[in-house]
Amino acid sequence: MGNVTSSVAARLAFFPPEPATLRRRARGPDGAGAGSLLRMTGVSPDAGVEVRALPTRAGTRVVSAFWRHPAARLTLLYSHGNAADLGQMLGLLLELRTHLRVNIMSYDYSGYGASTGKGTADEIVDFTHGKRLWELAKEKYEPLWIKGGGHCNLETYPEYIRHLRKFINAMEKLAKDSKAARAPPSSSMADEVRRTKCLRFGKR
């Protein structure tokens, strides 16, 4: 009986909210292949949010939202937990954009929210899958393992937000260092290099 109950609970955890907590209203196409531009209904207008219905190979459309921050240097791709949709995640996404100072790209899975298609009721994937992917990564960042955390509630743990902030800081530093390494030498440095070459070959 226990195994049956666990299986049913696992499947229910993947069902999308019914009805969807966010509706959409078309604004018409915006460029070839760019997907339909949408508006979120029931949500205060936000000039920093762009919502689109993106076509898939399966003939369905996935609704995605891009939340812009004016001072952002990075964009965070956020895949929300199952049994939720963009409407339920709206408050959290706005908070993350504000406090992390990043752009945020998020989306609803097929069959969730305003996305078309059929939702899935997959079994919960064991955490060892993610652990193995981390082990295979060429550039690693220390993962966060939250004791007692579930598939759909990690955002409620303060250590999750703190760790995410540290991750963003590390990625910003990495991007800054990488940009500095690719930058051309300054004019004074270039002059010194040319002068050194001339001296090496006996030219004055």
Does 60 share its domain with 152?
no
Does 17 share its domain with 101?
yes
Higher-confidence position of 119 and 78: 78
Distance between alpha carbon 61 and the CA centroid of its chain, in Å?
19
**Which strand ranges, in their side-by-side order, compose the sheet holding 103-107?**
23-29, 36-41, 49-55, 61-67, 103-107, 75-78
What is the predicted pLDDT for the residue at 33? 46
Does 64 share its domain with 38?
yes
Host domain of residue 49: 2-122
Does 188 share its domain with 93?
no
What is the predicted pLDDT for the residue at 6? 43
Domain boundary, last residue among 67, 93, 122: 122
Residue with token string 């109950």: 5
Domain boundary, last residue among 122, 154, 174: 122
Alpha carbons 53 and 60: distance in angstroms, whole number: 9
Q: What pTM value is reported for the model? A: 0.69
Q: 144 CB contacts (<8 Å, ≥6 apart)?
A: 159, 160, 163
What is the predicted pLDDT for the residue at 133? 86
Q: What pLDDT digit, counting tens, does each position of 112-128 carry?
A: 888 888 876 666 667 78
Angle at 190 between CA 187 and CA 192, to 5 degrees: 110
